[in-house]
């Protein structure tokens, strides 16, 4: 493993709810690429407090999730939330929301730097395993944004993109 910054890329969402599972679909795409040894990819599924164990094992956490923010479906946004209120409202398919995880990690003093990559969705689609065309089309941009974030994180430690 390369010494230095430990980066975790975690996709969350419920793949049984169509577009709501975009974070997990993004991880599947990212797994096809080559990453340095200090970059880990995790399918966070529908969340849960068991994900907290991953927070203390990284310096930078890049989370990928769907959001019902009213924007055009497929819009990719990157934010570095400072407060729990900066996170998008959780979608009903998650056991617990990102805010819950972040607040818990902060209380446990295990919260790394977090960058959130969101994909705007229009609706939740119960019992649908595939992404809508707009959300599917957003995945290359999600992959590129994650690459940029990881590259910038590594450059701060003297590494370059693979």
Which residue ranges make up each domain of the chain? 7-155
CB 127 within 8 A of CB 145: no
What is the predicted pLDDT for the residue at 28? Answer: 96
What is the predicted pLDDT for the residue at 44? Answer: 86
**What's the rounded mean pLDDT across residues 136-143?**
98
| Single pTM value for the model | 0.83
What is the predicted pLDDT for the residue at 159? Answer: 39
Q: What CATH number is given for 7-155 in this structure?
A: 3.40.50.1450
Q: C-alpha dihedral over 19, 113, 108, 5, to 10 degrees?
A: 110
Mean pLDDT (the chain) is: 82
Q: For the segment 65-107, what is each residue's pLDDT rounded down to a tens digit?
A: 999 889 999 999 998 887 767 777 655 444 456 666 777 766 6
Q: Which of 144, 118, 129 is nearest to 19 (CA)?
A: 129
3-state helix, strand, coil in the chain (%, to 5): 35, 20, 45
What is the bridge-based pairing of β-strands 60-67 and 113-120?
Answer: parallel
């Amino acid at each position: 493993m390369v010494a230095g910054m430990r980066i975790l890329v975690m996709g969350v969402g419920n793949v049984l709810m169509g577009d709501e599972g975009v974070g997990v679909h993004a991880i599947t795409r990212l797994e096809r690429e080559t990453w340095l040894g200090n970059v880990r990819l995790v399918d966070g599924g529908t969340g849960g407090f068991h994900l907290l164990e991953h927070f203390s094992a990284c310096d930078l956490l890049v989370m990928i999730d769907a959001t019902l923010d009213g924007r055009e479906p497929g819009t990719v946004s990157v934010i570095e939330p400072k407060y729990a209120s900066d996170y998008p409202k959780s979608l009903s398919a998650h056991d617990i929301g990102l805010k819950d995880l972040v607040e818990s990690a902060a209380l446990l003093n295990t919260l790394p730097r977090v960058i959130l990559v969101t994909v705007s969705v229009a609706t939740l689609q119960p019992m649908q395993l595939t992404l809508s065309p707009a959300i599917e089309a957003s995945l290359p941009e999600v992959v590129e944004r994650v690459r940029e974030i990881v590259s910038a994180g590594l450059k701060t430690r003297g590494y370059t993109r693979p």
